[in-house]
Amino acid sequence: MSTRTSNATRATSGRFAVGNPGGPGRPRRQTEGAYLGTMMEVVSLDTWKTIVTAAVTAAQAGDHQARQWLARYLVGEPSTTAPTPLSVVIDTLLARDEAMDKATAILAEPHIAEVREPLSFFRQDTDREAAILAEAREVLRQAEEGAS
């Protein structure tokens, strides 16, 4: 029995045609375990060390694939996209510090929560609201000074 699919099971685009039952699917865990066990028998820690050392040497010599392979294991895939050069310039000009902004927000959250509730009671009293907001600004300023 051939493992290749016939052209009759494929649409003109090359994808599987409607009604095609598909392939055998992912191997069962037992099969995966058997392959992993065999690999671990063949690739000792010393052999793996030699492979990793060769990858480091290749990466240092400029091998892009070696750098990617090492980075995937050592750093992982990025969860966000890199900032654009323009946003970096703007953040620099405005002296923005993302880590400091997050730290300030964390430190200020309890104080902001205290201030939010009274605002709902004093919506008609703009003088009182202004006083509460001024107090909140002062608390934030103190939190920022404490963080630095």
Q: What is the pLDDT of residue 56?
A: 96
Which of the residue ranges 9-18, 49-58, 84-93 would you say has the lowest mean pLDDT? Answer: 9-18
Q: What is the pLDDT of residue 3?
A: 44
Q: What is the pLDDT of residue 97?
A: 78
Domain hosting 93: range is 85-147
- CA 5 vs CA 19, 21, 23, 96, 111: distances in Å: 14, 11, 9, 57, 65
Contact 112, 138 (CB under 8 A): no
- 36 assigned to some structural domain: yes
Whether 123 shows a pLDDT value over 60: the answer reads: no
41 and 90 belong to one structural domain: no
- 14 assigned to some structural domain: no
Task: Check residues 68 and 107 and name the one with the higher pLDDT.
Answer: 68
pTM of the model: 0.37
Q: What is the pLDDT of residue 111?
A: 73
Whether 81 shows a pLDDT value over 90: the answer reads: no
Structural domain count of the chain: 2
Whether 15 shows a pLDDT value over 60: the answer reads: yes
- 69 assigned to some structural domain: yes
Whether 72 shows a pLDDT value over 80: the answer reads: yes
